């Protein structure tokens, strides 16, 4: 008569603590314990995925800014958390814009040009705008949050 072979559906998992394998012989129902550990890990990953998806979803509102721009950098703080910015240089002078930090490489915009950025996640905290020395300009900005 052939022997019955039982194959466990739970992988052979070792618990390592401080570089040493932990003795699991005291665990009464090792398979149920490992199943619990694996389900906990899967649940933690599902929570991370949900948080990521929630972060990609905007509230669906916008905030408008009519800006008078001078050579002095102007910090604009929209509603936080925001996802995207659309900025149009209404002229007459050239303007510059940086996102989230003033010390980044600025994007120049001639009169009539626009600048758009969409992070898909809520990464927009602030933006800075200024004009060339000796010039002024106006701009309109729309932020989605």
* Closest to 95 (Cα-Cα) out of 135, 45, 58, 63: 135
Phi–psi pair at 85, nearest 5 degrees: -140, 135
pLDDT at position 34 is: 77
Q: Which residues of the chain have pLDDT under 50?
A: none
For residues 1-27, b (16+ Cβ closer than 10 Å) or e, as one string?
eeeeeeeeeeeeeeeeeeeeeeeeeee
CATH number 2.60.120.10 is the correct assignment for the domain at 62-144: yes
Residues facing 137 on adjacent strands: 69, 92
How far is residue 139's CA from residue 98's CA, in Å, rounded to a whole number?
A: 14
pLDDT of amino acid 14: 75
**Cα(49)–Cα(111) distance, integer angstroms:** 42
Q: What ranges do the domains of the chain cover?
A: 62-144
102 touches 73 (CB < 8 A) = yes
Round to whole Å and give the CA distance between 139 and 37: 55
Spatial distance between the Cα atoms of 135 and 137, rounded to a whole number of angstroms = 7
- Please, which residues have CB within 8 angstroms of residue 81's CB and are 6 or more apart in sequence? 55, 122, 123, 124, 125, 145
Query: What pLDDT is stored for residue 89 in this prediction?
Result: 97
């Amino acid at each position: 008569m052939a022997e019955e072979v039982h194959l466990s559906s739970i992988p052979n998992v070792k618990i390592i603590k401080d570089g040493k394998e932990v003795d699991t012989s005291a665990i009464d129902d090792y398979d149920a314990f490992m199943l619990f550990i694996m389900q906990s890990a899967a649940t933690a990953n599902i929570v991370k995925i949900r948080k990521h998806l929630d972060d990609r979803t905007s509230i669906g509102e916008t905030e408008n800014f009519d800006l008078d721009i001078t050579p002095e950098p102007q910090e604009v703080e929209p509603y936080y958390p925001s996802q995207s910015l659309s900025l149009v240089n209404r002229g007459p002078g050239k303007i510059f814009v940086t996102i989230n930090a003033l010390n980044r490489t600025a994007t120049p915009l001639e009169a009539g040009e626009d600048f758009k950025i969409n992070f898909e996640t809520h990464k927009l905290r602030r933006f800075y705008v200024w004009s060339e020395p000796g010039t002024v300009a106006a701009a309109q900005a729309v932020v989605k949050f």
